[in-house]
């Protein structure tokens, strides 16, 4: 079972900042470019991004000097008091307050260390396939700084909110009802209010650790970081003669943990854009796997929770089931709501998947509609062979001659003028508004999808399955800089 521990984090000196870290925290390293890094440093030269993002882009390891500079900066900030180690081990209660689709939310979490375990132990579970990750960059930074700078986001099931109650009932030692007391730290970033309380009360810590001992932890975001921590522990142990003490910090990793039953724990859809493929080709290829949604589902807006029609996630106003996907034609602006009609075909294509996997919209979209139908249709049309991996994560080899290049799109800036004659690509876009814009710019097709239910994430994970990549988008992202996890022992 998960082993939760308090830890003495390295953090900014709150006395110097007045408890406001707005100018010092940063978004996750993997969503930033050089312009955004420079903007953050323009707010403060002591922004954590100066340490956390030494090499751009962080898709592979940069020069050794870049990581050595981060290590020097960390040491300098510790020496001059910009950063300070916590005086005693603590848990860190953490809330994010934000607005989405006109509603106010609070996502309640806490920060702790978890003992590293292989996924095969079944206590800490991945939920999603990932792109080939930037482990080399993160491992080089971890080796140089001997710290974990960015947290992993984890979920746990707690329908009775026993963890929340343990924090709230802690008593005067932990400021009573923490939800209404002044936090030790605040930080506003990208419209999200971050609030953190330092919890050192021993009874509270023991209660939380005991409650968590019987719960599984599901990795929501940070699969690569978890893998990097396992690699770091292996590397460190080799340097210590293949063995390190059981309580050594390298055996642990920093998590931000949220209850998956918390109303503030939102999963938003991750939309797709097909570039270099026109809608006629898509609809022709998909004809045997989709059908037009019921007449009552025809809408001028669709695509889930990204500021669009909310009834796409539930039912239409007419009572018809919502469409499984909406195609937006960038060339004409027309939208086509569609239903998936052959979900059972997945069991033939992938007979060894876990039962819950066959219910995933993303599995049907990638493994059948894109990998099996669209790529085959384009292959018959004589497209050039690219030898690219399939989008659905096949467990067997493919004979299909054409693959779509896949990449994540941040939604920032323009993709330039496109045409159907360019190399086919599949872009992943968080915002439906941006997906439409890119489709218009590229004369492509936006695939506006529904959000993955939390219950699907839990069931797939517990059955040992993995969702297709970019099946989930947890909003908002966790910032870096509230707490840093030292991987060295003072002894």
* Residue keyed to tokens 């996907």: 325
Region 121-142: mean pLDDT is 86
The answer to whether the beta carbons of residues 477 and 31 sit under 8 Å apart is yes
Q: pLDDT at residue 400 above 90?
A: no
Q: pLDDT at residue 300 above 70?
A: no
Region 421-425: mean pLDDT is 69
The values of phi and psi at residue 202, to 5°, are: -60, -40
Region 316-344: mean pLDDT is 85
Q: pLDDT at residue 126 above 80?
A: yes
In terms of domains, do 256 and 370 share one? no
The values of phi and psi at residue 14, to 5°, are: -65, -25
The answer to whether the beta carbons of residues 326 and 309 sit under 8 Å apart is no
- Residue 190 structure tokens: 């990208």
In terms of domains, do 302 and 203 share one? no
In terms of domains, do 186 and 316 share one? no
**Residue 309: band (very low, low, confident or very high) from pLDDT cuts 50, 70, 90:** very low
In terms of domains, do 252 and 283 share one? no
**Residue 180: band (very low, low, confident or very high) from pLDDT cuts 50, 70, 90:** low
The answer to the question of residue 425 being in a domain is yes
- Range with the poorest average pLDDT among 21-30, 396-405, 450-459: 396-405
* Residue keyed to tokens 């030494």: 54
* Model confidence pLDDT, tens digit, residues 28-43: 998 899 999 999 999 9
- Residue 413 structure tokens: 């800036």
* Model confidence pLDDT, tens digit, residues 211-234: 999 999 999 999 999 999 999 999
The answer to the question of residue 470 being in a domain is no
Question: What mean pLDDT, rounded, does the chain reach?
Answer: 86
| Residue 130, pLDDT score | 73
Region 359-378: mean pLDDT is 92
**Residue 315: band (very low, low, confident or very high) from pLDDT cuts 50, 70, 90:** very low
In terms of domains, do 156 and 301 share one? no
> Is residue 199 within a helix (H) or strand (E), and if so which, with residue range?
strand 192-199
Distance CA 256, CA 479 (A): 11
The values of phi and psi at residue 309, to 5°, are: -60, 115
Residue 272 forms beta bridges with which residues? 428, 447
In terms of domains, do 275 and 258 share one? no
The answer to the question of residue 199 being in a domain is yes
Q: pLDDT at residue 200 above 70?
A: yes
The answer to the question of residue 459 being in a domain is no
In terms of domains, do 23 and 97 share one? yes
In terms of domains, do 361 and 282 share one? yes
- Higher pLDDT: 58 or 399? It is 58
- Range with the poorest average pLDDT among 56-65, 213-222, 263-272, 280-289: 56-65
Domain range enclosing 26? 4-266+475-486
What pTM was computed for the model? Answer: 0.87
The answer to the question of residue 422 being in a domain is yes
In terms of domains, do 111 and 96 share one? yes
Tell me 404's DSSP state.
Answer: -
The answer to the question of residue 464 being in a domain is no
* Residue keyed to tokens 């990204």: 306
| Residue 377, pLDDT score | 73
The values of phi and psi at residue 28, to 5°, are: -55, 145
Residue 152 forms beta bridges with which residues? 255
The answer to whether the beta carbons of residues 53 and 37 sit under 8 Å apart is yes
Q: pLDDT at residue 268 above 80?
A: yes
The answer to the question of residue 457 being in a domain is no
Q: What is the CA radius of gyration of the chain?
A: 23
| Residue 349, pLDDT score | 97
Distance CA 458, CA 463 (A): 9
In terms of domains, do 260 and 278 share one? no
In terms of domains, do 279 and 326 share one? yes
Would you state the torsion angle of the CA atoms of residues 80, 83, 85, 91, taken in this order, to the nearest 10 degrees? 170
In terms of domains, do 168 and 150 share one? yes
Cβ neighbors of 426 (< 8 A, separation 6 or more) are: 272, 273, 274, 275, 370, 391, 404, 405, 406, 407
The answer to the question of residue 343 being in a domain is yes
**Residue 252: band (very low, low, confident or very high) from pLDDT cuts 50, 70, 90:** very high
* Residue keyed to tokens 């006395």: 15
Q: pLDDT at residue 310 above 60?
A: no
Q: pLDDT at residue 76 above 90?
A: yes
Number of separate domains in the chain: 2
């Amino acid at each position: 079972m998960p082993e939760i521990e308090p830890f003495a984090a390295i953090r900014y000196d709150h006395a110097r900042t007045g408890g406001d870290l707005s100018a010092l925290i940063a978004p996750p390293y993997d969503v930033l470019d050089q312009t955004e890094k420079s903007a953050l440093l323009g707010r403060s030269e002591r922004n954590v991004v100066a340490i956390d993002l030494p090499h751009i882009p962080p898709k592979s390891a940069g020069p050794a000097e870049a990581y050595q500079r981060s290590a020097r900066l960390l040491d300098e900030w510790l020496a001059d008091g910009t950063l300070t180690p916590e005086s005693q081990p603590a848990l860190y209660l953490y809330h994010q307050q934000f607005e989405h689709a006109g509603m106010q939310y609070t996502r309640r979490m806490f920060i702790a260390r978890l003992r590293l375990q292989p996924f095969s132990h079944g206590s800490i579970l991945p939920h999603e396939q990932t792109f080939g990750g930037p482990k080399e960059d993160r491992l080089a930074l971890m080796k140089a700084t001997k710290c974990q700078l960015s947290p992993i986001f984890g979920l746990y099931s707690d329908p009775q909110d026993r963890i929340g109650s343990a924090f709230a009932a802690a008593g005067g030692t932990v400021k009573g009802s923490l939800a209404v007391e002044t936090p030790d730290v605040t930080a506003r970033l990208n419209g999200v209010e971050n609030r953190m309380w330092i919890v050192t009360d021993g009874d509270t810590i023991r209660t939380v650790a005991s409650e968590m001992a019987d719960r599984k932890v599901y990795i929501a975001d940070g699969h690569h970081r978890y893998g990097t921590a396992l690699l770091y522990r292996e590397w460190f142990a080799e340097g210590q003669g293949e063995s390190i003490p059981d309580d050594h910090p390298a055996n642990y990793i920093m998590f931000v943990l949220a209850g998956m039953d918390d109303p503030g724990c939102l999963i938003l859809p991750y939309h797709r854009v097909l570039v270099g493929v026109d809608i006629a080709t898509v609809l022709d290829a998909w004809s045997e796997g989709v059908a037009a949604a019921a007449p009552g589902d025809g809408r001028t807006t669709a695509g889930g929770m990204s500021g669009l029609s909310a009834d796409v996630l539930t039912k239409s106003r007419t009572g018809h089931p919502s469409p499984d996907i909406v195609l937006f034609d960038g060339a004409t602006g027309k939208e086509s709501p569609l239903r998936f009609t052959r979900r059972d075909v997945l069991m033939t294509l992938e007979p060894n998947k876990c039962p819950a996997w066959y219910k995933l919209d993303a599995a049907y979209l990638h493994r059948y509609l894109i990998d099996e139908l669209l790529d085959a249709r384009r292959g018959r049309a004589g497209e050039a062979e690219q030898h690219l991996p399939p989008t659905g994560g096949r467990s067997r080899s493919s004979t299909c001659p054409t693959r779509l290049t896949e990449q994540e799109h941040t939604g920032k800036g323009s993709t330039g003028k496109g045409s159907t004659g360019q190399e086919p690509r599949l872009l992943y876009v968080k915002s439906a508004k941006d997906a439409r814009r890119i489709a218009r710019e590229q004369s492509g097709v936006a695939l506006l999808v529904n959000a993955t239910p939390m219950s699907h994430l839990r069931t797939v994970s517990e059955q040992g399955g993995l969702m297709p990549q970019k099946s989930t988008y947890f909003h908002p992202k966790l910032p870096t800089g509230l707490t840093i996890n030292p991987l060295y022992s003072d002894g």
